[in-house]
Chains A and B, each alone.
Chain A
Amino acid sequence: MTPERFHTIVEAYGADPRRWPEQERAAAQAWAAAHRAEADAALAESASVDAWLACDEVAPPDRSLQQRIVAGAPARRAPWFRHRMWWSGAALAGVGLTGGLAGALAVSFFLLAGATSPVHDSSYLTTGFGGSTADWSGE
């Protein structure tokens, strides 16, 4: 540790050795102990600025700021919500399926109900061997 380096350290980092560069701290303290008068003069000058800097305090963040910031974070859906969504989706699909089946049943019912009887088949669909019994009614 040279005198120049000691003064550079104190001028840059202040009088508190805890703020000095870790790798040079022990050497600087040893130099100060060995050159008390010179070191004390430099430390006293820096200590006044340290005391002044230490007075500056910033108020902690208020609750509303914290809440605004947390509210801005992308939120993962809670498990209960995801389960509910799963069941809701399944229920919706079930309702859709039921409706589809009911519709299909209704359509098939009406098709069957509205279908013409073989008795009334058009003549062009019958053959000479398959005529309706109504044709024989007169015999």
Chain B
Amino acid sequence: MSERDPDAELVARVGTQDPVAVRTLVARKLPRLLALATRMLGDRMEAEDVAQEAFVRIWKQAPSWREGEARFDTWLHRVALNLCYDRLRGQREEPVAEMPDQADPAASPEVQFENRARDEQIRVALAALPARQREALVLNYYQELSNIEAAALMGITVDALESLLARARRNLRAQLAGSGFREDKS
């Protein structure tokens, strides 16, 4: 990995307790971190706790962060995933069906209801996947990591990652067929 880490300079400034850099890093990383944890855990409140804990690790690590050993974003994903797995072990990976409503206030009540039902189906289906399949899908599809990055993060080969991804998609397709979801609904 010869490319320069795009976060390195910012992390170095965070290490010097630069308040502007701290706010910039939070704005840059928190949405992705929260999305990752929400999809891995299926629970918004738990995901927010994970995000907060991950940033505590960042504050500790930033002063001694050295560019070149690993990309900061990769390290941060690893930290967040470890925190998620700690919680999943505590939950015994029971999917959490209850999710906060994120209704579009501009949509009609009927559309809002349909959107909520669809979102709920998707979240339940993702939560029902085996954790490693969900992790592969979340890293590659939602976090948009390359296959090489995702495989390295999971400590597996690219072939193994592709196998997990294919199984995850087959499982989702089976659930999709069972739920009556229609892709052209909207």
Contacts and interface: CB of A to CB of B under 8 A. Distances in A.
B122 A56 contact: yes
6 contacts: A11-B169, A49-B169, A58-B38, A59-B102, A65-B51, A73-B59
Given A14-B169, A21-B147, A60 B31 contact: yes
A61 B31 contact: yes
Interface size class of B (residues with CB under 8 A): 35 or more
A55 B17 contact: no
B91 to A, nearest CB: 19
Say what secondary structure dominates the interface of chain A: helix
B30 A65 contact: yes
Among B18, B118, B169, B186, the one with the most A-chain Cβ atoms within 10 Å of its Cβ is B169
Contacts, number: 108
A72 interface: yes
A61 B162 contact: no
B26 A75 contact: no
Of A52, A60, A61, A75, chain B has the most CB atoms within 10 Å of the CB of A52
B169 A12 contact: yes
B176 A52 contact: yes
B165 interface: yes
A69 B169 contact: no
A68 interface: yes
Interface in B167-182: 169-170, 172-173, 176, 181
A72 B55 contact: yes
Contacts of A22: 146
Contacts of B137: 53
B124 to A, nearest CB: 11
Contacts of A75: 17, 19
Interface in A1-40: 8-9, 11-14, 19, 21-22
Interface string B112-155: 00000011001100100000000001001110001100000000
